[in-house]
Amino acid sequence: MSTSATNSSRESTGALVRPCPACGKGNRIPAEHLADRGRCGACKTAIEPVAEPLNVNADEFRTIVKGAKVPILVDFWAAWCGPCRMAAPEVAKAAATLAGRGLVLKVDTEKHPEVAALFQVRGIPNFVVLKNQQMVVQQAGLVDHRQMVRWVEAA
C-alpha cells in the first residue's frame, strides 16, 4: 500500500520505505520516526518528515499509533462518501502543515471496519486526534484544514 502522494511503500514491520529524493534508494523509516527528518543511508541527502496523509490498514494503524512520538490525526472515510471526497484536499493540507509535528492517517471504513469500531465511528467523515495512544478529540462531519491543525496543535 502506498501513501496518497508519494511512491513510498511499507514493509511488514510497519516501517515506511521512502525513496531518497536525490538518489532514489529506498530508506526504511520506523513508525516512531515518521515525523522526524532523516538522512539517506546511501547518499546522506536529507529526507523530510512525512507531509502527506498515509492510507493505512489495521496493522499499520496499530504500529504507527503505538510508536508515534507526535499527535496523530485520523481521517475515517470511504470512497462512496461525497463529504469524504470533499474533505480529502483539506486533510492533505493539514498533513503538509503538520509535517514534523504530527502525522495524518487515513482509514477506509469499508476496508477496515474494525479500526472504525474502536472509535465507535457511526458517520463519516470522522476525525480523531490521538496523543500517546489516547483519543483527545473526535469530530464527525466536514471541517477545514485549519480546524484539523488546531486540534493536533492543542493535543
Residues that are catalytic = 81, 84
Please answer whether residues 74 and 23 qualify as being in contact, where contact means their C-beta atoms are separated by less than 8 angstroms.
Answer: no
Looking at the DSSP bridge assignments, the partners of residue 19 are 26
C-beta neighbour count of 89 within 10 angstroms: 11
CA atoms within 13 A on the CB side of 2: 7
Sorted by sequence, the CB contacts under 8 Å of residue 74 that are 6+ apart come out as 61, 104, 105, 106, 107, 119, 127, 128, 129, 130
- Give the cell for residue 30: 520506523
Contact (CB, 8 A) for 124 and 83: yes
- Cα–Cα distance measured from residue 21 to residue 40, given in angstroms and rounded to the nearest whole number: 9
